[in-house]
Amino acid sequence: KMIRVGRKEIVLDGLVFYMDPINTNCYVPSGTSITDISKYASKGLFSNFDTNTNYDPNDGGGSIIFDGVDDKIYVTTYGDYTALYLTPDTYNFTDEVTLEAFVKPSSFVGNPNIVGKGANLGYRCRFTTDSRFWLYSASGATINNIETAADLIKVNTWVHVVAVFSQAGLRAYVNGVLEASNSQPFMPDPLNTCILHLGMFCGSGENFSGKFGITRVYHKAFTADEVLKNFNADRQRYGI
């Protein structure tokens, strides 16, 4: 299934978290929280932001600014989603998950985290200090990670990144192109207690410096066609 964005469409199946800073049902400038505009209406809280300078109304049509020091968004309440899945530990997927974001990094210092649930356990994606896109999942001592070639991501430039975790392995897409993959099954720790974070490692560290636009989480493993569908739906807004 698809959902329309203006005259374009995005994937709807499996959509469990959806942040779009220009949608006032999601975010009101100078506010201190975002509301997930998927059907589950989870709530994300801003932490350590200066609410007077955390939003750019022009770049990407509207984007949230992270200072690279201590800013983060973390999902604290899950609306209808918790009731649907009958678990207090929402987003603790152990079969498959897709993370998607349009971001504009201003620095790669400290391996800036993009989005994920977990630190040394769970799953997440980030940029590395040498400008790679990096995916990670782990359960106990079993680590599964991939990364793209170095210098692929550019500072002060909007980029679309998609991290796919599945039983067939991990896949990393940049601007609609598959840049890295493996065939090691996704097996995150089912006891992972971290909450979903944007812009920071679970808890603290790996702080993102730059701007966040559309960010989505899916409880499904995207196909290559689905990656392109979402990329093409919003790329013009970010000048890609």
pLDDT in tens, 187-202: 888 777 788 889 998 8
Structure-block tokens of residue 96: 């498959």
| Sign of the dihedral through C-alpha 139, 144, 148, 149 | positive
Torsion of CA 83, 84, 88, 91, to 10 degrees: -140
Q: pLDDT, tens digit, for every residue of 219-238?
A: 999 999 999 999 999 999 99
Residue 42: predicted pLDDT: 80
Q: Whole-model pTM? A: 0.92
Q: What is the pLDDT of residues 36-92, one digit of tens each?
A: 899 888 888 888 888 768 999 999 999 999 999 989 888 866 554 444 333 445 688
Nearest 5°: phi and psi at 101?
Answer: -155, 145
Neighbours of 23 (CB within 10 A): 15
pLDDT greater than 80 at residue 1: no
The string of pLDDT tens digits covering residues 2-24 is: 455 455 799 999 999 999 999 99
Query: For residue 207, which of 25, 1, 66 has the smallest C-alpha distance?
Result: 66
User: To the nearest whole number, what is the mean pLDDT of the chain?
Assistant: 88
Q: Taking 60 as the threshold, does the pLDDT of residue 136 lie above it?
A: yes
9 forms bridges with which residues in the sheet? Answer: 4
- In 3D space, the residue among 110, 145, 105, 150 whose CA is nearest the CA of residue 124 turns out to be 145
Tokens linked to 157:
């430039």
Numbers of helices and strands, H then E, in the chain: 2, 18
pLDDT of residue 91: 81
More confident residue, 52 or 107: 107
Beta bridge partners of 15: 218
pLDDT at 77: 61
Share above pLDDT 70 across residues of the chain, in percent, rounded to a whole number:
90
Quote the tokens at residue 136.
């990670």
